[in-house]
Amino acid sequence: QVQLVESGGGLVQPGESLRLSCTVSGSVTEIYPVSWYRQAPGKQRDWVAQITNDIKAYKNSVKGRFTIFRDNAKNTVYLQMSSLKPEDTAVYYCNLNRGSEGVTWGQGTQVTVSS
C-alpha cells in the first residue's frame, strides 16, 4: 500500500523560507507525477506545483519563489518555499497520481506565515 507523509511545516515570518518534504512509502516508480496542493481556511484546495520525472510546473503566484524537486534515493519530493507571504498560509498536501491505480494524498502539514 502506498502512503505519503508530509513534514516540514511551521510558523515563519514574511520573507523567510521553509522546506516541505513528502516521503513516499511502498513500491512506486518516479515516473508518476507528484504534486503539492494547499488549502487555506475556508477555501478550496488549490494546486501549487508538480514534478514528473524532471518536468516541473508551478502555480503562477509561486513561480520564482517555490521550487519542487525530488531525491529518488530517499523516495522524497520536496517543496522549497522562499520569500514567503502571509497569503501562503495554508495546510500543504502532497499528492501522488498513479492514473488507473489511484490517487494518494498525504495527511497535510501546516504552514503559517505571520509577523
Residues 6+ apart with CB under 8 A from 66: 48, 49, 58, 79, 80, 81, 82
Q: How confident is the model at residue 31 (pLDDT cuts 50, 70, 90)?
A: confident
More confident call, 5 vs 1:
5
Residues contacting residue 2 through CB under 8 Å, at least 6 positions apart: 24, 25, 26, 27, 28, 96, 98, 104
Q: Pick from 42, 45, 38: which is nearest to 84 by CA?
A: 38
Reported confidence tier of residue 26, pLDDT bands at 50, 70, 90: confident
Q: Kindly report, residue by residue over 33-52, the tens digit of the pLDDT.
A: 999 999 999 999 999 999 99
Sheet strand arrangement including 3-7: 3-7, 18-25, 76-81, 66-71
Q: What is the pLDDT of residue 53?
A: 85
